[in-house]
Amino acid sequence: MSKSKKAKKVRSVPKETHTTSSMDFVTRFQPYFSPIIFFVACLLYVNTVFYDYTQDDAIVIYDNMFTEKGFEGIPGHLKNDTFYGFFKTEGKAKLVSGGRYRPLTPIMFSIENAIFGEAPFAKHLINILLYGLLCILIYKTLILLFLPSLGGQNGFHLFVFLAALLFTAHPIHTEAVANIKGRDEIMSMMGAVLGLYYAFKYIDSPKTKFLLFAGIAYFLGLMSKETTITYLAVIPLAAYYFRPKSFMKVGKPMLIVFVSSLFFIVIRTSVLGFDFGGTPQELMNNPFLKIVGNSYVPFEFGEKAATIIYTLGKYIGLLLFPHPLTHDYYPRHIALMTFGNWQVILSLLLYLGLGLYAIKNFKKRNITSFCILYFIVTTSIVSNIIFPIGTNMSERFMFMPSLGFCVLIAYLAHNFSGNQSKKFVLLGVGLILLAYSAKTVSRNQVWKDDFTLFTTDVKTSTNSAKVLNAAGGALVTESAKPENVNQQQQMLQTAVPYLNKALEIHPNYKNAALLLGNAYFYQGNFDAAIKSYERALAIAPEYKEAVKNLAIAYRDGGRRAGEIEQNLQKAKEYLNRSIQLVNTDPDSYRLLGITHGMDGEHPEAIKYFTKVVELLPNNASAYVNLGKAYKYYGDEESSQKMFQKAIQLDPKALEKN
């Protein structure tokens, strides 16, 4: 009796309560567990192979100058910040604090471009296959970890199988799999878990090859994404919990992964340098800014702490109940929080409770406490506590930490199911798996293309300046397509409020001001378009696209003023502003010539039509217009010369004009 109590004190393990028939079932189907996991992973995401590029795919794939070069672009990925191939200029690559050095997956995309071409099909397919392999690897690694502790327990393999299935089906992983760029999450975790796997293989059977495999896998994980670094803590933590008698053997594997980490840091530093760029003062790259007067200032310490704590609680909420999901948690989808908010206090108490439980059971090597510590360790690097990550939160940031959650749910289900309750518990887990799977399939359909993604998620992230801007921009772009001529005004009417709200949240959002100007322009509201473009230029005076669009808006606004409103003075004013902005547009000069001619100012008309001829020396219509201006002015000789020049270029020029 005392011996039983002592065993229970050392470790909380499930009781021997499962029936022989359940053991027979598990034994019979155990060889199929890995293929089932792989099949489920592929089945959940198979529809995504037909999807387009979305979201940040432009940065690392179709608009990245190195990826586009195929094999020849590989050195460029290795020698530069990950963002450099997209921005193509120095400085912009470090828009986020510290820059980003994640060359492995862009290199993979370069290779895939060279072999399969630039279409997204092959890249989506490879994402799915890699995800399926990762889920199998997780299953195999969990068996390796837990076998000495739980291997003698009935239903052990079923528990691990359910944990791996929960991870496979969890909807919070959709972004990492359905978005091609999300492969960095898959490869990072694959490197981390594989490093853990081979570290434990070495502990159980000290062979040099296992050390080598652990070091290589871990290094490749780091080259995919820096979050792999958290396994520097996870590996010894797992060894303490699951190999207490062999804990000292973890020293060599840890030395290998530490050297791999050091090697990665040396490479990263040689590429990016020691300059971490400070804290960005732009809201889209620093969510912890607020408007005071007309300027952005940092959150106060309490505001920042409360907002981070709230976000950490939201992560747990989404792991438990993954709805609604969105790709966008930019300002202000997550609002500025204070410690007066009950959700902040609840989140704080939740994490304090989890932390205290984990610490209390640390010496007991309780599996639940391991899951909690694993979650906290892997979440730490994306929490905004250690260093700023450029946004409040993202579902893909839970890709690695979610494993702790899935293992915990499966373990608790396994641990508390006896003969009477076993079927109900397993049924409950099965229903969770079905619900997760249904949500995953439903959610990944949103990643079909940018238009679908942005216009769907804007209904969830209603206060995110970024997604409001993206949805508005997508609607404006789609509205201009010929096939959408009948829906154009409806699309624009939807876009305008989105873009106005984006500017309300982020008054210095130059792209939102530009896109709002475009929306008004397509609506034919040139005055409103002009105000929006001028706002964009007030924010960023060197904004070339805003300058170009403003010139066009003034030109077309001047055309309307002259042709429809019969307001020749306004037409002249607008057209003159147009050529002040862009002095190479022949249409603006032509319209000015017409306007001055209508107002009887023929010398001015001649001046502007002469400019058109200078810009379009081979255009017959330009000479006809100039000839007419001379004729109205009374200079018949010059008029005939212009008409003759027009006829030389086009014998039917006079008939056409």
Lowest mean pLDDT among 271-275, 289-293, 556-560: 271-275
Report whether 440 contacts 171 (CB < 8 A): yes
154: confidence class by pLDDT, cuts 50, 70, 90: low
Q: Which of 18-22, 89-93, 307-311 is most confident?
A: 307-311
The candidate with the shortest Cα–Cα distance to 308, out of 340, 339, 266, is 339
The candidate with the shortest Cα–Cα distance to 374, out of 193, 164, 630, 144, is 193
Output DSSP code: residue 366.
-
Higher pLDDT, 11 or 594: 594
Report whether 344 contacts 337 (CB < 8 A): yes
Task: Spell out the domains of the chain, with CATH numbers in brackets.
Answer: 180-272 (no CATH), 289-418 (no CATH), 464-583 (1.25.40.10), 585-657 (1.25.40.10)
The pLDDT of residue 22? 54
Q: Give the pair of three-digit tokens for residue 84.
A: 């450099």
Q: Give the pair of three-digit tokens for residue 231.
A: 């396994």
Output DSSP code: residue 62.
I
Lowest mean pLDDT among 61-75, 276-290, 303-317: 276-290
Q: Report phi then psi at 297, rounded to 5.
A: -130, 155
Sign, CA dihedral 358-18-438-138, equals positive
Q: Give the pair of three-digit tokens for residue 223.
A: 């080259």
The pLDDT of residue 24? 63
Looking at every residue in the chain, the average pLDDT score rounds to 93
* b/e per residue 136-152 (b: at least 16 CB within 10 A): bbbbbbbbbbbbebbee
The full DSSP string for 439-498 is HHHHHHGGGG-HHHHHHHHTTTSTT-HHHHHHHHHHHHHHHTSGGGTTTHHHHHHHHHHH
Tens-place pLDDT, residues 498-555: 999 999 999 999 999 999 999 999 999 999 999 999 999 999 999 999 999 999 999 9
The candidate with the shortest Cα–Cα distance to 302, out of 310, 313, 314, 294, is 310
The pLDDT of residue 294? 82
Q: Is the pLDDT of residue 8 over 90?
A: no
The candidate with the shortest Cα–Cα distance to 283, out of 589, 510, 597, is 510
88: confidence class by pLDDT, cuts 50, 70, 90: confident
Length of the chain: 657
Higher pLDDT, 372 or 427: 372
The full DSSP string for 280-342 is --STTT-SSEEEETTEEEEPPHHHHHHHHHHHHHHHHHHHHS--S--S---TTSS----TTSH
The candidate with the shortest Cα–Cα distance to 381, out of 399, 361, 367, 406, is 399
Q: Give the pair of three-digit tokens for residue 43.
A: 């089945």
Q: What is the pTM (predicted TM-score) of this model?
A: 0.92
Output DSSP code: residue 279.
-
Tens-place pLDDT, residues 589-629: 999 999 999 999 999 999 999 999 999 999 999 999 999 99
What are the start-end ranges of the H helices in 71-116?
Answer: 74-79, 84-87, 104-116
Tens-place pLDDT, residues 444-465: 999 999 999 999 999 999 999 9
End-to-end CA distance of the chain: 109
Secondary structure element (H or E) that encloses residue 231, with its range: helix 231-242
The pLDDT of residue 274? 80
Tens-place pLDDT, residues 330-348: 999 999 999 999 999 999 9
Neighbour count for residue 79 (Cβ, 10 Å): 12
Report whether 448 contacts 45 (CB < 8 A): no
The pLDDT of residue 431? 95
Cα 14 to Cα 99, 185, 408, 429: the distances in Å are: 47, 33, 13, 17
576: confidence class by pLDDT, cuts 50, 70, 90: very high
Q: Is the pLDDT of residue 5 over 60?
A: no
Tens-place pLDDT, residues 196-241: 999 999 999 999 999 999 999 999 999 999 999 999 999 999 999 9
Sign, CA dihedral 208-210-212-214, equals negative
Q: Is the pLDDT of residue 17 over 50?
A: no
The pLDDT of residue 656? 83
